[in-house]
Structure 1
Amino acid sequence: MKYVILYVALFCIGYELDFMSSETVRHSPYESGYILLALVCGWQALNRIMPLRMESGTLVAWGIYALLKVLAAVVVGIFTAPLIVLYNIYKLIVEFRKE
């Protein structure tokens, strides 16, 4: 249930912030919400498929690692977000039916 609430909250925050729009290019606020949602879903998918961990390195290496992982999470999340959200909703329904 916590993931479904997180997804709704992130989508609403992205919708309200509308960070993808600029003065020259107008994007739908739904796109901003979806990108935030995709970031979290992609992060979950990446950690489930192969937990990318860096054991040691300099501060610059850690920063580059974090930036690349966030970018990869957005790219993966764009494609996996619908499946992950539907799966979590399914788990929530199954949990409520047990009670």
Structure 2
Amino acid sequence: MQIIVTTFPGLTFDLLVEEVNHRDPAGRLLCYLASIYRQEKGTVARHLIRRSRLPGSADAMRHELQRDGIQAFRRLEPPNASKAKSDYNHKVNKDLSSG
């Protein structure tokens, strides 16, 4: 069984693309699984974001992360994180404009 892990470091979390590829002695594919995990900085806990059983999908996931850069990280943020940022920015802008 072959396991390939590619890590994309971010500012607050890392993305891990893990590909599991298992073949029989004749070279026929027995099992394939590609997964993207989100790992917070300073922890070992991983949170599953996306999974696929289509052979070659890990390359597509890697390509998407490399192509889109920070936008790919923003798409993979938890939904509450972006709302909390916008609420904070709205409050700061309101305080600045009133004072």
TM-score of the pair, normalised by structure 2: 0.31
Bigger radius of gyration among the two: 2
- Higher RCO by CA contacts (8 Å cutoff, separation 6 or greater): 1
Higher helix share: 1
Higher strand share: 2
